[in-house]
Structure 1
Amino acid sequence: MIGKIVFFLPVPSQPRYHKRIKAFENVGYNNLIFSFERDYFKGGKSNVSYTSLGKIDHGKYVNRILKYFKAFTVVMAFKKEIKDSEIIYVFGLDLAIFVIIFTNLFKVKSKIVYEVGDIRSIMIGRKIKNKVMRFLERKVISKVEFVTVTSPYFVEEYYSNIQKIKSSKCFVLENKLYDSSTKSVSRESLELTETLTIGLFGVIRCQQSWEILCKLAESFPSKIKIYIRGYILGISNFEEKISELANMNYEGEYTSPHDLADIYSKIDICWIANVSDNKLNTKLALPNRLYESLYYRVPMVAHVESGAAKRIAELEAGWVLDFYNIKHCIEKIMAINAQEYSIKKRNTLVPKEKIIGNDDHSILINKLKVGHI
């Protein structure tokens, strides 16, 4: 064993966390994992053995304060193991604050890594609460070895421009697949059948995307199929539309990476980037589905103002549409022909390093070993 690493997770089911854990395990680190639990996208939970910090509700930040006090008592029982660790890897700002308080109180000298997967709405804006959260994050970053981010755009437009953090303090670790955990599938055919199957995967919470897909399914029942897998969060008419439309099929949650080969083999196009009230995060984030779609050779559709749209446009591996113009979106999708589709699909063939993150993880681990970015 090289040493010990301690992970603090907001939820045990996030595939991104599993990639980090696997990468450190594969080079010989012995891990200790703490995680909160919540009724939120359970796919992959069985892959991780962890000590529970208790159950929290999604999005209810104020209600979490008491839960953190209780979690503190859980972590106290592992004080020696944590003090013996070389690295503490923490996901999310609230857990990072928790970890820094703990390490300061008990003089823990482990290197701390703080990872950010999304820029939350509360971090943006001019209200006092927004300024306080940004101040707290700057304090956190001053105490950690570095902050890992899942998109280079986070560094360019948020951490450098807004938080005034030096880029040398950041390490970009995109949402690429981790090769040893991923099954491949043969996707050599460039043919487009008469029925176009669109995949909608992950945490499904974009009402605007949902309205477009419902309109497509309603208007073209013999030409469009919508295949849905994931966790439904806040879609107002989801059950109604699934019951009403025979060409919209929901088959529940899935486990990543175990189920990826199967679900991507069933679609022609993946709907990968949504819109939200958090326009900055939409603009900057690069979702898992970007890399999954490229790996499984599936062309993509993304909102024009999303981070994913930039990559898709560069590769010409899909369609970049304005999701707020439903009529135009439908027209563009229904105008896709076999020749155009084959070109887009051919362009999903990219160098391995663009979609597989093993080397990126190795660089991260080596930088931690030598103690600098």
Structure 2
Amino acid sequence: MQYKILFVLPVSTQPRFSKRIQNYLDRGYEVTVASFEREYFKKNSLPENIKFLSLGKIESGAYIKRIPKIVSVFNKIYKLSKKNDLIYIFSPDILLFTFSFLKSSKLYYEIGDIRQISGNQAVSNLYDGIYKKALKKCSKIFVTSTGFKRFFADKYSVDVMKFRVIENKLPVSLFSPFDRSEFRHIKSSSYIVSIIGLLRYKNIISFLTAYYKADAKFKIKIFGDGPLRDEIMKFVDNDNVQYFGQFRNPDDLFEIYNQTDLSFTMYNSKNKNVQLALPNKLYESIYFRRPILVSADTYLEEMVNKYQVGFFWKQEDMKGLISYMTSESFIKDYNRLCANFDLINQNVYLAK
């Protein structure tokens, strides 16, 4: 008997969603995907051999505005759920509007980030109350870091045994441990810093602003798309700062990291989500042997420090960061990281 699983996605082009879908395909499941569509990362696509149903377009970040759209497709989701053995949901707003009508034994949910729905305390309390009920009804809850597991189990009083941690490691089927890039030493401040992925955190703007004020020698390459794209384009001069737009993940990662010396991954450390998350950039940096630059006061900083594969800095001090990045000390510190990448067991960054 072939088991059937329904994935309900907030967007069809998120690489993490594709990984989960492929995992169930590899295990022999018949997969149906119902997904909303957005403007970002159109180059990424879902695995083949699935049944696909579009739920229409929604705006990114406009959580309240999504409600009518989600309500309008509820019947479609409900009918599909009755035809499947498991329902795997990725978005909290989709979960909140469907959990009451889905069987607990069939309901899987994956948490990708921590969201603040409203600055209004009454609205937040109402949301947390409903969300708590939804989480308790789920049969399994998947998270991408141990920090997320602790946070959600404690805040919403959910049985910790429901949680499964699936880190954003690279699939060994696509990233062979024998195809890793060599560490690339730098001899001067004329190296390349890459900003890769979803362009949404203002630290990018602060970094670019400080960069231009300092007249630094290193160059910046930007790969990706997101809500800050238009603001970022004001800094692009196609010489010191270059913008390459959307890319296919994982297809283009080898080419991107081949052009990279340092991965800029300084997300907003005041954000609870950022404080606890372990993004895919950590695992990519280790695999490609490219040092990573992250925000201080985050779980990501702890991991970078543990494995000695990069740098961390206070996000409020971009001027000091640029000064350090153009110094002889930085070049020496950077090159000292070389041997550390070979000391890390492949199980840390590769998933079977």
Normalised TM-score (structure 2): 0.90
Find the counterpart in structure 1 of residue 193 from structure 2.
Answer: 198
**Equivalent residue for 1:275?**
268
CA gap 1:179/1:141 in 2 versus in 1, 3 angstroms: same
1:211 is matched with 206
User: Among 251, 257, 277, which residue is 1:258 paired with?
Assistant: 251
Moved over 6 A (4+): none
Q: What is the identity percentage for the equivalent residue pairs of Structure 1 and Structure 2?
A: 29
Query: What per-residue deviation string (whole Å, max 9, x for no partner) do you get for residues 98-155 of structure 1?
Result: 332442xxxx5752111001001228x7811111121112111121112111111112
Aligned twin of 2:240: 247
Q: Shift in Å at residue 46 of structure 1?
A: 5.5
Q: Measure, in 2, the Cα distance between the counterparts of 1:120 and 1:10.
A: 14
Superposed CA offset, 1:294-335 (max 9, x none): 111110100102221111011111111001112221122223
The 1-side partners of 2:160 and 2:106 are apart by 19
Equivalence for 1:314: 306
Instruction: Tell me the CA shift for residue 3 of structure 1.
Output: 1.2
1:63 aligns with 2:65: yes
1:131 aligns with 2:125: yes
CA distance 1:133–1:346, change in 2 (3 Å): farther
What SS is found at the alignment partner of 2:77?
helix
**Equivalents in 2 of 1:70, 1:101: separation in Å?**
16
Q: Which runs of 5+ in 1 are unaligned?
A: 359-373
Determine the structure 2 residue equivalent to 1:72.
74
What secondary structure, in the 3-state scheme, does the structure 1 residue paired with 2:319 have?
A: helix
Structure 2 counterparts to residues 11-30 of structure 1, below 5 A? 11-30=11-30
What residue in structure 1 maps to residue 350 of structure 2?
A: 356
Is the CA contact 1:282–1:305 (under 8 Å) kept in the aligned structure 2?
no
1:99 aligned residue: 98
How far apart are the structure 2 equivalents of 1:306 and 1:261?
Answer: 27
CA distance in 1, matches of 2:165, 2:58: 29
Q: 1:217 to 1:263 in 2, by over 3 A?
A: farther
Measure the CA separation in 1 of the matches of 2:318 and 2:104.
54
Q: CA RMSD in A?
A: 2.3
Structure 1 pair 209/95, CA: closer, same or farther in 2 (3 Å)?
Answer: same
Structure 2 residue identity aligned to 1:173: I
Deviation, structure 1 residue 236: 6.3
Structure 2: 5+ residue runs without aligned partners? Answer: none
- Choose 297-306 or 343-352, whichever is displaced more: 343-352
CA contact (8 A) 2:208 2:235 kept: no
Spell out, residue by residue over 1:17-65, the C-alpha distance to the aligned partner (whole angstroms, 9 max, x if none): 0110111111211101100111223241364652101111112223222
Q: Which moved more, 1:339-348 or 1:147-156?
A: 339-348
- What is the 5 A alignment of 1:105-116? 111-116=106-111
Once residues 130 and 41 of structure 1 are traced to their aligned partners in structure 2, the CA distance between those partners, rounded to angstroms, is 30
1:212-268 Cα deviation digits (max 9, x unpaired): 2342255345x211010001313663222113x621010111111111111011010
1:140 aligns with 2:139: no
